[in-house]
Amino acid sequence: MQENEVKKSAITINDYYAKLSKKEKSQILGYLITHYGFRYNTIQQKLTGKSDFNPRDLLVVKTVIKEDLWRSN
């Protein structure tokens, strides 16, 4: 329970993604690829901070994280 609270208190999407386990990273990537049509390399680079989000993608990813939509899959 406390682990989830730490993850949700992450300041940026990059911090949030970095705190996820390998399995959780795989789940969130799979969700974004399946439901929103992101390309694997593109979304992985954006989540790790190697490239920047455009405003639309940022809104989508923030909503998915905030609502925990990727966990319900």
User: pLDDT tens track of the chain, all 73 residues?
Assistant: 445 554 554 578 999 999 999 999 999 999 999 999 999 999 999 999 999 999 999 999 999 999 999 987 6
Q: According to the model, what pLDDT value does residue 1 have?
A: 44
Q: Which amino acid is at 31?
A: Y
Tell me the backbone φ, ψ of residue 52, rounded to 5 degrees: -90, 150
Q: According to the model, what pLDDT value does residue 11 have?
A: 75
Does the CA dihedral 26-14-10-18 come out positive or negative? positive
Q: According to the model, what pLDDT value does residue 73 have?
A: 61
In angstroms, rounded to a whole number, what is the distance separating the alpha carbons of residues 62 and 48?
Answer: 14
Domain segments of the chain: what residues? 2-72
